[in-house]
Structure 1
């Protein structure tokens, strides 16, 4: 017998072609599936191991009896062929060495690291590389799935599977199944073609496709992606059919034709590219006419000056990309353009889209070294809120040059500098230029249980203003001095205050010090590490008159815990606070020593102002001598499932509550969660948010959210839904009602999604909606940064294939 006898190639690629369409982007739970295998592992088969190149591996053949002639070998009884992780078993095996043909019959069994199958008979010609296998049942090992076929015929890299089935359900409980009359496979090309394919839910066919071409491996191919279908009060019947184009190994494109019965047709597109030094994504959408605008134009009180023209086309363009110039410098761009100021509102499906007042485009070159960072960039703002004018847009920075440097010199000395030069431009306001330089030196003294960090900085800010802005600032200063309105100031009265090159310089000194105490303690039999962490932060900066300086990109910070330890209460250099103040803060924590779990954390702090803060931004109330509001924050976990937290700010001077926030979370079982949050900030908002995922049974669960604004006495978003899960099939149905316009108009949508585990899903992406609305819908989100998927994609487009490798 030839020692190089090849183990049968068998239907590996063919059996894997059906689940090749599976959607693996979402985590699939198989918790409700039976533990036992559909086809148990065969006795005598080698332990599963990853498949690789088996060409050079030896093949061994065993059997109870060996007969026949030298040219025609016959193995009988418990025949077993093994090579690496491959195993072929049969009752009988006949091999004709002259013709290089074989016949295996009687309980034919095959197994490797990826698949197990049983068949009635297998025969073929090794020299011609032709094979036929009859009456097959298979089970995938590396990914869940099982099925069968009447016959498999193969020749080289091509093959035919006749009357095949595939499902991830147990054979005794077929919730869904994919059947095909015939499947042709070409492993070299990476394609499979199914003819007469039917998807069944239970006994009922729900989708019939006479011809379907699909990929059978990880290679990318041009074709259709799963469609998205939904109904809503704003769009009506909404159907989107993505079309994917595999243009080259390193770039591709996707078209998103979409039809909305109440609004019209829309075409979205996305182009992605990747090369050794960078990558990028271009996307856009275009809608020739939008019936929503025509309906809005017929409403009473319609203002054509503040709304897009109903006859205009609508669209957007966005680009995000980067290019690595070298290991230090990178060029990046994030560009966005929208056709009108109501685009984000009309094409968004979340509250975030309603809250956006502007969109920004930026591009630049950025560098990062061991002790420095810097860049040259520019940005431009576009209005996306029709209720306001372009006067409220931020200034464009065209361009901005910045550099940050911080370096230790020995153990006790650190020096650094923050520097920035910006040219500000605005379509409705005069602009100017600003240079801000802030060198500093600090001495970080610290030990195991203490730290003292004195810092001395000098801030110099200089401007070059356009004439119109210099005149405006002079009129404002003169009006304040004379006690009249700015529009009543004459040029002569404003002349003494006019300065087209104002500047400001001042020193800033701070001292940050803290202690760390800890002790071991025991509570109800559990050992904890109890910490006590007092901290002091002293800030001193002299007063410099700054009314003659413009406000380009600066506003006051919201008062918070972090703001108590900054050297400026403003976001930018247009205002530098004067200060003679001391922050006193205290934190404590209880850490479970067995695993580091934080049972309790609490912090409280307050600023003592020794002098009045005279520097203010326009419309800001000055900070007077005395005490700031108390800032307190606490989190307590009475059990591993309960988490309770609160934040509170109380101003003793005015005896009023500035901020109150209460939050609670409880975890049910492996995936249930309930969240309750109340937020109140004086003169700004008062809201409550309740959301939950409650498992009624292992298969049934209910989900919901109620998000309410007390100031407007209006629901911002409401969700009610039910989920049913089984081993291989999941169904989610949601009713969602949410604010869709800045006038408070509501939209109602009904979403249904069928998830055929191991194959894909049909309907809208309800998981995306629920993950955004219910923190903890994915349990892992509780331990990571909350999902950043609240920004709506252009025209709500479907998900394209994975990024290009």
Structure 2
């Protein structure tokens, strides 16, 4: 049951695994292979938003020093020992004493997965005592061991080995011990032992302990007087600690983390894991921020019958840092709480809840936006009962929000939904005909704004005719939306409370809207064989027509609870509504014409896709959003939408290009343009460039790189720049985010150093800020990370940052 929890990697887990013996399964490989971009199973395809972690690269390591006597044909099943016979080969056998046998000359003793080799072995057939001397080599499932002398008892599973050297077959873990004691089949103790995954005899880092005791039955190890060394320098000392020896969790210290940000100063975190029970655990994480004070953070996870959840909390008794936001927090206690829970109620139904709360709007600005996080402007909390069946799904719940932008007021928050109910159904009436309905009822609440209840009902009939060469998809729907506004609705405009003498656009307490929505989507698919640059392809030509009819309804007296104008793109050419939410439904008498052409290689991989389209309007677009308290934008009288074109191109496995472009014949201006270019560099590098532009809203250039340089070094970088544009919104300009780092990857250790300068908080909006408040606040963060291969790392903040900022990073 607890296997669903993410594993907690304690400080010496790999050391314990190395010294237990027989716990891991040997698979015959000498090392983990290095990831290669030519291997589709290990490389990240171009254009992927999320890439699998790069496997540990042991290709730079020397061959394992003890593998010269490894026998890959030996059994890997240790459970066969009690029932398997023993075999002995030797050049000379002295059996003059019929109880004690003296073997000499390349002695090999074998049973199941165990194999012992030595120059001389004395074996007592009655007591099963053995004494091996001279070039002793021992192999079992999971590890190899060499010693100068080994003696013990086979039946009692007791033994003592002197001058031990060991090598793990799967994890490359290796080390030495002055003496190893096998107390019984489940308990072992090593004296003056070391462990590392580096080359044998060339340990960049290692653990050293005066004694290590292993309890295989309970999966627990105990180390006394242990130090971790980097080179010859002691790095960490622990006089006594316990650790797990397998996948079972064990209480103990997790890796500490170190970092620095401009808002909080230097940070030191020393988490401690508590394995409280098989179905719940906790982590205590005391931290010190030199710029703000002490913090106690914690995590509690639980698994109960039908229920799973997690609680995270952070508490600062007294913050002595500077307060820059609208909330004055200097000298205050501060906190952050995150709770999530999922409970199965009955078949097909579950309860899903989350509670996220900060002590003030500046908390995430001061503590939360470190290397791996983007600015968070609100926290949402909610609870819902949700269910689903073969053709339906439903939910009933509430959603609330908290403002976490320190430079904005609560007016920037969305409406709270207290409560909401949603239901969707799609039932196949025949092979080609479906009937369905989308319905919701929501109570919207927001202080200082018009409030009320909204019901939206959207039944439809949809048909689908066609083959692989053509399709025709008619759809008939009806949309009914009704409101019950709260008392005093006449005092509000679209943007909040009205001033005296201003007329409200809301003229009815119970306004409604009802209209049909009719669409017909159709297309053809032609294909032919062609060639380009000597390569054979299948080329397609796919014309498409989409007709939409929605009669006009005056909706100026309807509030805007959760509706906005969606960004226009290629898929909006085939959408029945240009507005999100149910408060506005566009009127339409439109015909979309579009065409797509693709190139598919012999394996069916799409190497090129080019599309072009436009909407032709037969009637004006009269439904518009408001531009002020009670003013609605004028209707547009356009004959057609912007022309939309998009192109995706990947003619080789090293280059990928994607782009989109919009040009308006009405304003004769470019409305939108994007360009993305990605190139793979060698086996471990990637280069990205992108450009994003939307008139009046945004213009950004971005570049990122993972560039292999001399030897084992990689250069890491990302940069986002936004030139100033004319817009009504306050958005960051100049360098929005810049990151520079370097990575060193060797046989057994990886080092990363990253410096990031970024916009920590930015107020997006048109509401004026109090005097002296700058809309864009910057911060700088530096983090150093050490990855000891086979053990883990000192922190986990750099990897999420690199995956987010560098497309294709592994």
1:42 aligns with 2:51: no
Residue of structure 2 in register with 1:645 after alignment: 658
For 2:800, what is the secondary structure of its paired residue? helix
> Superposed, which structure 2 residues align to 1:592-607 within 5 Å?
592-593=601-602, 595-607=603-615
Distance in 2 (alpha carbons) for counterparts of 1:52 and 1:587: 61
Check if 1:765 corresponds to 2:792: no
Could you give the per-residue CA deviations for residues 554-591 of structure 1, whole angstroms, max 9, x where no partner exists? 11111111222111111111111111001111111112
Contact in 1 for aligned 2:622/2:634 (Cα 8 Å) = no
Counterparts of 2:189 and 2:167 in 1: how far apart (Å)? 18
The answer for the alignment partner of 2:453 in structure 1 is: 433
The reply on whether 1:730 has 2:750 as its aligned counterpart is: yes
Question: What is the 5 A alignment of 1:342-421?
Answer: 342-349=362-369, 355-421=375-441
Alpha carbons of structure 1 residues 622 and 90: separation in structure 2 relative to 1, 3 Å: farther
Q: Which runs of 5+ in 1 are unaligned?
A: 1-10, 297-302, 477-484, 779-805
RMSD between aligned alpha carbons? 2.8
- Report the secondary structure of 2:130's partner residue: strand
Q: 1: CA distance between counterparts of 2:200 and 2:71? A: 25
Equivalence map 1:280-679=2 (5 Å): 280-294=309-323, 296=324, 306-349=326-369, 355-469=375-489, 472=492, 487-488=500-501, 498-593=507-602, 595-619=603-627, 620=633, 622-679=635-692
- In the alignment, the residues of structure 2 paired with residue 772 and residue 267 of structure 1 have an alpha-carbon distance, to the nearest angstrom, of 28
In structure 2, what is the equivalent of residue 181 of structure 1?
210
Aligned 1:73-222 pairs, distance under 5 A? 73-126=101-154, 128-156=156-184, 157-222=186-251
Residues 44-91 of structure 1: per-residue CA shift (max 9 Å, x gap):
663453555644344333434441433323333333333333322233
Call closer, same or farther: CA 1:377–1:456 in 2, change over 3 Å: same
CA 1:629 to 1:48, structure 2 compared with 1: closer, same or farther past 3 Å?
A: farther
Q: Give yes or no for contact 1:474–1:498 (8 Å, CA) kept in 2.
A: no
Report the CA distance between 1:231 and its aligned residue: 2.6
Q: 1:727 to 1:328 in 2, by over 3 A?
A: same
| CA contact 1:229–1:764 (8 Å) conserved in 2 | no
The CA deviation at 1:190 is 2.4
Match of 1:754 among 765, 777, 786: 786
The 3-state SS of whatever aligns with 1:142 is: coil
Distance verdict in 2 for CA 1:131–1:26, change over 3 Å: farther
> In structure 1, how many angstroms separate the alpha carbons of the residues matched to 2:597 and 2:218?
63
Does the CA contact (< 8 Å) of 2:175 and 2:195 recur in 1? yes
Structure 2: gaps of 5 or more residues: 1-14, 25-31, 33-51, 628-632, 725-731, 763-773
> How far apart are residue 12 of structure 1 and its match?
9.6
Of stretches 186-195 and 311-320 in structure 1, the one that deviates more from structure 2 is: 186-195
* Kept after mapping to 2: 8 A contact 1:651/1:657: yes
Write out per-residue CA displacement over residues 495-545 of structure 1, whole angstroms, 9 at most, x where no aligned residue: xx7321211111110001111111111122211111111111111011112
Hey, what does 1:29 align to over in structure 2? 56
SS in 1 for 2:565: coil
Match of 2:715 among 688, 702, 720: 702
Aligned equivalents of 2:116 and 2:56: distance in 1?
32
Per-residue Cα deviation, 1:83-120 (whole angstroms, up to 9, x for no partner): 33332223333222444422122322222331112222
3-state SS in 2 of match to 1:325? strand
**Aligned partners of 2:76 and 2:626: how far apart in 1?**
70
C-alpha separation in 2, matches of 1:622 and 1:82: 89
Structure 2 CA distance, aligned partners of 1:375 and 1:403? 7
Cα deviation, residue 456, structure 1: 0.3
Structure 2 CA distance for aligned equivalents of residues 284 and 173 of structure 1: 43
Which deviations, in whole Å up to 9, do the C-alpha atoms of 1:130-150 show, x marking residues without a partner?
310112211111222222212
> 1:473 and 1:766, CA in 2 relative to 1: closer, same or farther beyond 3 A?
closer
Could you give the per-residue CA deviations for residues 295-316 of structure 1, whole angstroms, max 9, x where no partner exists?
Answer: x4xxxxxx8xx22342322111
8 Å CA contact 1:433–1:464 kept in 2: the answer is yes
Distance 1:52 1:457, change over 3 A: farther
**C-alpha distance in 1 between matches for 2:356 and 2:22:** 40
CA apart distance, 1:281: 0.9
Could you tell me which residue of structure 2 aligns to residue 481 of structure 1? none
Name the structure where helix makes up a greater proportion of residues.
1
Question: Residues of 2 paired with 1:65 and 1:43: CA distance?
Answer: 23
In structure 2, do the counterparts of structure 1 residues 549 and 45 end up closer, same or farther at CA, with 3 Å as the change threshold? Answer: closer
Distance change (3 Å), C-alpha of 1:569 and 1:390: same
Residues 668-710 of structure 1: CA deviation (Å, up to 9, x unaligned): 1112011111111111111111111100134011111121121
Distance (Å, rounded) in 2 between the aligned partners of 1:695 and 1:353? 26
**Cα distance in 2 between the residues matched to 1:414 and 1:404:** 13
- C-alpha distance in structure 1 between counterparts of 2:310 and 2:723, whole Å: 41
Residue 56, structure 1, aligned to residue 83, structure 2: yes
Corresponding residue number in structure 2 for 1:15: 19
Q: Distance in 1 between matches of 2:306 and 2:528?
A: 52
